[in-house]
Structure 1
Amino acid sequence: MKTGFNSIKRIFILSIVSIFLLAATMSITAVAESDNMVIIPYGDSEYRYMVVDQGEGTGFELTDFDDSNFLTGDAGFGSIYSGCLLTSSDYVSTEWALNSDILVRKEFYLPAGASNLKVFVAIDNDVQVFVNGVDISGGLQVHEGCPSWNSFEFQADDDLLNAGTNLIAVRGRDRGVASFLDIKVTADTPHQEIPEFPTIALPIAAIIGLAFFFQRKKDE
């Protein structure tokens, strides 16, 4: 009788451990993805960029453009100017000369099924935004005054997005006094639904527990 008792005891323990492992796995899965993610934050690093005369650099937005001659720099791009908050040394990481254009490129990754990609821009003065070679800003958008977070918001069509590597390219234009450019990119990613905890798991554990209890009573 002792053998039967030990067998039921082992089954009961394994069942309880399995239930807890299943619950832990589902908890990990639940936090693996969120509905909306910041893909590129303001102040991000490792951009490819080039400062050019206004209007120069046609084709820099294309995915097959050779940017090997571009420099590597961190956002924000700009000049130090005491009259605006974002043109202070706290936010300007890479110099951008006045009265010129800056061409900025950065690759980023999206999982399959990503959608609703948005590009937020802080700019002084004007900006044009491309995703995977396509203009999503409707041409060069004019901005006056000091730069501020989210001065512009542009959205890319979902059919422009790739599962895997994507490219954002931005042309900034300065018209004097102060220059500044920084961007943030967000997107919705597929939400991992949390599977319901199997409703049969707890009753099974209870049945095994009762069997264990009665077998123990019998052995006594």
Structure 2
Amino acid sequence: MKIGLIIMLLLTLFIPLAGATVGSDIPTYSDCDNVIIKNVGSAASEIGDYNDYKGTLYSSFYKLGDRDEWNGLDGWEQVGDSNEYTRSIVTDGNLITITAYYDPDEEEFYSFDWTSTCPLGVVLVKAGNCYNIYDYDEATSGTGLIAVSGIGISHTTFGWYTCGGIPEFPSIAFPIAAIIGLAFIFQRKKE
């Protein structure tokens, strides 16, 4: 009985730590009429518009494209002899690594995968006047993101809650309860 209780208490310590998720490769929205993203331009305005539309509060963001990062191969590292290129960005304590697929005939990137050390909530992929918007439930990776209508990507904006922020209540309460429970069991064992 006591061993079963100890095992259950120990499991409550480790279950909250196994929450990393993978993102979807299907856009949640395609916005060509600027219904969701009304203020095209800075990452702050785009994430602000998205927050207003969805009722989210993403306070950290990074925009790849402000300095023409998607136009050409400067800043990208080729993977072997393939059309696959990578680059990494560190901002607000978050390391985002992008693996993009380049069309040498068109000289444009058309799709990409990403990983992130902080869970992301949204990725906006812009081409022309349109956005593909990928919603995530705190994902740490996503695959096959594309721009609208097969057009080359002009920029992307990544949005997340502050990295290393205040953890959710259960991720604090369960381990504390487990520690108190173990202390109670061992204290009774001594008596």
Could you tell me the TM-score, scaled by structure 2's length? 0.36
TM-score for the superposition, normalised by structure 1: 0.32
From the two aligned structures, give the one with the greater strand fraction: 2
